[in-house]
């Protein structure tokens, strides 16, 4: 295949996960076929089998280290269903606090660090600038530092309730591991 | 010219790369001190950019993730050639990590489970005369140092931002740490644990409990409460994050330097606290550990002495 007629984007970046895009052009230079490939598989579907159900929140969070809280919470809710238990109001609020915090933090991450830079710095900017450092250069260090500090505080808040921000450890069937933070 | 640093992911979750983002304000300091030339989670550089760099032109590559397919092995080899120093970054690269639990099965078993009756990925595929390829999916997951020479190890799932910052500075210092060093404290996690004073001198328990079966006291050593806390067999470095969250340590920092097989060490640390010589009583105590391999080798199966399950 003539290389002028094949465009390879490898790897796709600024998201979690391995991906590659192959675009094939026709004689006129238009797109004839495009393929998105995921050249990776770990096999959680298989190796989760045989593990105790209550270990799932911590094992499945490793599906994605950028959004581990989502996987942790989904597994935790599956445990609620499995054990047929409803978390008491305080536990529910703690879960909601962690998840809402994650929601804000993850969106900030996406906007400033991952997907956003292509738009903020612009799609034509060189690769070396289409990233968080380019965003900071564009919006100014003051705003940039504010965003970084805000994200840090959100992650600290998550760690307070969930143990770890990266791969939380608080989800249990029917509740949470840490009822309150009397002391630490 | 600033020294060049690369980050790359193999079979991992991206959490190690995200942990670099979690350097927060200090990330700007790191970006001042070094040129980051590859970091897929945050930068848009491509494989071809790395391939075009002269050999040895990168000061250090921090490679996370285990090796589970041929593309990951090729990328590890490419970065090894381009770099003066390679750091196995995070427990998946160091010992195999959670993706290493796949060694309880093999390629055939995993593909059959994941794709069921659907289309199974083929190494080569062509359509309309366009040909595509996928990496070879190995039977066995291995740690990074099984495919390339590794200079340093940074443990954790993921390593904490403090350890990452210290590691970057250690590699920029005029005198490098001794080759093969694990860049984290070389003592057991219990020493960093806020509950260590409540851990009895001679810790013995009659039975174990699983985390969802008790309301764990927030002050007392979790192992003393009968929870399987792997702190005694695990390397310090995280500052006892899970325990601060009132959950037992599952061992994501791996062993200290004196231990060859993490799981064997963790298992013996737990077995030795059972207060009984009676076999049936011991069996009963161990009923609360229904999955020994997933408990003790959760992050280290590929680098254990056995390495994998023997398939019939
Ligand atoms: S066994 Fe666990 S809870 Fe107890 S002192 Fe060690 S790390 Fe802390
Ligand atoms: S307490 Fe154990 S499992 Fe938790 S972060 Fe620390 S080393 Fe990892």
Angle at B202 between CA B260 and CA A54, to 5 degrees: 65
Looking at residue A3, its pLDDT comes to 59
Identify the closest residue of chain A to B132 by CA–CA distance: A22
**CB-closest option in A113, A127, A170 to B245:** A170
Q: Kindly report, residue by residue over A60-110, the tens digit of the pLDDT.
A: 999 999 999 999 999 999 999 999 999 999 999 999 999 999 999 999 999
Q: Which residues contact B235 (CB under 8 A, 6 or more apart)?
A: B155, B182, B184, B185, B186, B187, B188, B189, B253, B254, B255, B256
Please provide the DSSP assignment of B65-107 as one string.
Answer: SBEEEHHHHHHHHHHHHHEEEEEEESHHHHH-TGGGGGGGS-H
Q: What is the mean pLDDT of chain A?
A: 91
Contact A13, B40 (CB under 8 A): yes
Ligand 2 centre distance from Cα of residue B204 (Å): 22
Yes or no, beta carbons of B42 and A15 under 8 Å apart: no
Which of ligand 1's atoms lies nearest the C-alpha of B231?
7
Which of ligand 1's atoms lies nearest the C-alpha of B220?
3
Instruction: pLDDT band for A184, please (50, 70, 90 cuts).
Output: very low
Q: B56: phi > 0 → left, psi -120 to 50 → alpha, else beta; which?
A: left
**CA distances for A36 relative to A19, A24, A29, angstroms:** 7, 12, 19
**Rounded to 10 degrees, what is the CA torsion of A90, A93, A95, A100?**
-170
> Which of B25, B29, B36, B44 best tests the A interface by mutation, with the highest count of A CBs <10 A?
B44
Cα separation of B4 and B156, whole Å? 24
Burial of residue A84 (CB within 10 Å: 0-12, 13-18, 19+) is exposed
Cα separation of B215 and B122, whole Å? 49
Helix (H) or strand (E) holding B127: strand B124-127
Mean pLDDT per 10-residue section of chain B, whose length is 312 residues: 94 92 87 91 94 97 97 98 98 98 96 89 88 95 98 97 91 92 96 95 93 94 97 96 97 96 96 92 91 97 96 83
Task: Indicate whether A183 pLDDT > 50.
Answer: no
B69 strand-pairing partners: B137
Identify the closest residue of chain B to A154 by CA–CA distance: B22
Ligand 2 pocket test, candidate residues B91, B184, B231, B250, most atoms within 8 A of CB: B250
Cα separation of B57 and B169, whole Å? 18
Residue that the structure tokens 């970046």 belong to? A13
Cα separation of A117 and B254, whole Å? 36
Looking at residue B88, its pLDDT comes to 98
**CA distances for A177 relative to A120, A137, A166, B197, B232, angstroms:** 40, 42, 16, 21, 21
Cα separation of A50 and B109, whole Å? 14
Looking at residue A163, its pLDDT comes to 93
Ligand 2 centre distance from Cα of residue B267 (Å): 16
Yes or no, beta carbons of B245 and A148 under 8 Å apart: no
Contact B242, B260 (CB under 8 A): no
pTM value surpassing 0.90: yes
Q: Taking Cα atoms as reference points, which of B151, B138, B177 lies closest to residue A43?
A: B138
Pairing of strands A31-37, A20-25: antiparallel
**CB-closest option in B130, B135, B245 to A39:** B135
Cα separation of B66 and B12, whole Å? 7
Residue that the structure tokens 């699983």 belong to? B210
B157 touching chain A per CB within 8 A: yes
Identify the closest residue of chain A to B11 by CA–CA distance: A42
- Cβ contacts (< 8 Å) between A151 and chain B: which residues? 24
Q: Which residues contact A125 (CB under 8 A, 6 or more apart)?
A: A134
Token output for B113: 């489970």
B137 touching chain A per CB within 8 A: yes
CATH of B4-100+140-172, one of 1.10.3720.10, 3.40.50.720, 3.40.50.700, 3.40.50.300: 3.40.50.700
**CA distances for B68 relative to B138, B213, B307, angstroms:** 6, 36, 13
B34 touching chain A per CB within 8 A: no
Looking at residue B31, its pLDDT comes to 85
Cα separation of B228 and B230, whole Å? 6
Task: Delimit the CATH 3.40.50.700 region(s) of chain B.
Answer: 4-100+140-172
Q: Taking Cα atoms as reference points, which of A80, A116, A79 lies closest to residue B44?
A: A116
Q: Taking Cα atoms as reference points, which of B160, B147, B224, B194 lies closest to residue B20?
A: B160
**CB-closest option in B48, B212, B294 to A172:** B212
Ligand 2 centre distance from Cα of residue B253 (Å): 6
| CB of B249 closer than 6 angstroms to any ligand 1 atom | yes
| CB of B189 closer than 6 angstroms to any ligand 1 atom | yes
Cα separation of B266 and B138, whole Å? 28
A:B CB pairs within 8 Å? 213
Yes or no, beta carbons of B291 and A10 under 8 Å apart: no
Looking at residue B191, its pLDDT comes to 96
Q: Which residues contact B282 (CB under 8 A, 6 or more apart)?
A: B274, B276
Higher pLDDT, A95 or A181: A95
| CB of B37 closer than 6 angstroms to any ligand 1 atom | no
Burial of residue A74 (CB within 10 Å: 0-12, 13-18, 19+) is middle
Yes or no, beta carbons of B28 and A136 under 8 Å apart: yes
Cα separation of B167 and B66, whole Å? 20
- Cβ contacts (< 8 Å) between A24 and chain B: which residues? 128, 130
Instruction: pLDDT band for A179, please (50, 70, 90 cuts).
Output: confident
Looking at residue A2, its pLDDT comes to 55
| CB of B243 closer than 6 angstroms to any ligand 1 atom | yes
Token output for B191: 């020493």
- Cβ contacts (< 8 Å) between A168 and chain B: which residues? 245
Identify the closest residue of chain A to B291 by CA–CA distance: A51
B60 strand-pairing partners: B5, B85
Token output for A55: 């270990």
């Amino acid at each position: 295949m003539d290389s002028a007629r094949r465009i390879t984007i490898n790897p796709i970046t600024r998201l979690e996960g391995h991906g590659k895009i192959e675009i094939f052009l026709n004689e006129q230079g238009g797109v004839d076929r495009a393929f998105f490939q995921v050249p990776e598989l770990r096999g959680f579907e298989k190796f989760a089998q045989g593990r105790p159900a209550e270990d799932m929140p911590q094992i499945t969070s490793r599906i994605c280290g950028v959004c581990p809280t989502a996987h942790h919470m989904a597994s935790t809710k599956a445990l609620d269903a499995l054990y047929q238990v409803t978390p008491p109001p305080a536990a529910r609020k703690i879960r909601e606090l962690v998840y809402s915090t994650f929601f804000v933090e993850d969106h900030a991450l996406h906007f400033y660090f991952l997907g956003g830079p292509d738009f903020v710095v612009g799609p034509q900017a060189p690769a070396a600038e289409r990233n968080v450092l380019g965003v900071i250069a564009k919006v100014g260090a003051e705003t940039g530092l504010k965003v970084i500090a805000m994200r840090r505080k959100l992650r600290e808040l998550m760690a307070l309730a969930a143990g770890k921000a990266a791969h939380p450890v608080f989800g249990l069937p029917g509740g949470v591991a840490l009822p309150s933070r009397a002391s630490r | 010219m600033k020294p060049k640093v690369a980050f790359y992911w193999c079979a991992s979750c991206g959490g190690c790369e995200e942990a670099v983002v979690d350097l927060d304000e200090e990330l700007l300091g790191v970006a001042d001190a070094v040129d980051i030339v590859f970091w897929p989670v945050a930068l848009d550089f491509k494989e071809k950019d790395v391939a075009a760099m002269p050999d040895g032109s990168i000061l250090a590559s921090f490679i996370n993730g285990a090796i589970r397919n041929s593309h990951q092995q090729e990328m590890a080899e490419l970065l090894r050639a381009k770099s003066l120093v390679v750091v196995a970054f995070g427990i998946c690269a160091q010992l195999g990590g959670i993706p290493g639990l796949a060694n309880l099965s093999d390629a055939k078993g995993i593909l059959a489970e994941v794709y069921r009756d659907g289309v199974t990925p083929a190494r080569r595929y062509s359509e309309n005369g366009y040909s595509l390829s996928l990496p070879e999916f190995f039977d066995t997951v291995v740690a990074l140092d099984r495919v390339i020479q590794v200079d340093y190890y940074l443990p954790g799932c993921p390593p904490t931002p403090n350890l990452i910052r210290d590691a970057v500075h250690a590699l920029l210092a005029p005198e490098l740490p001794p080759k093969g060093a694990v860049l984290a404290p070389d003592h057991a996690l219990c020493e960093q644990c806020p509950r260590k004073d409540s851990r009895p001198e001679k810790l013995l328990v009659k039975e174990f409990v699983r985390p969802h079966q008790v309301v764990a006291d927030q002050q007392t050593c979790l192992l003393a409460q009968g929870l399987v806390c792997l702190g005694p067999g695990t390397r310090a470095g995280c500052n006892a994050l899970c325990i601060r969250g009132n959950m037992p340590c599952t061992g994501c920092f791996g062993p200290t330097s004196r231990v060859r097989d993490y799981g064997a060490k963790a298992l013996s640390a737990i077995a030795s606290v059972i207060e009984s010589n009676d076999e049936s009583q011991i069996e009963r105590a161990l009923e609360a550990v229904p999955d020994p391999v997933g408990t003790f080798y959760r992050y280290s199966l590929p680098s254990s002495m056995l390495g994998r399950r023997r398939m019939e």
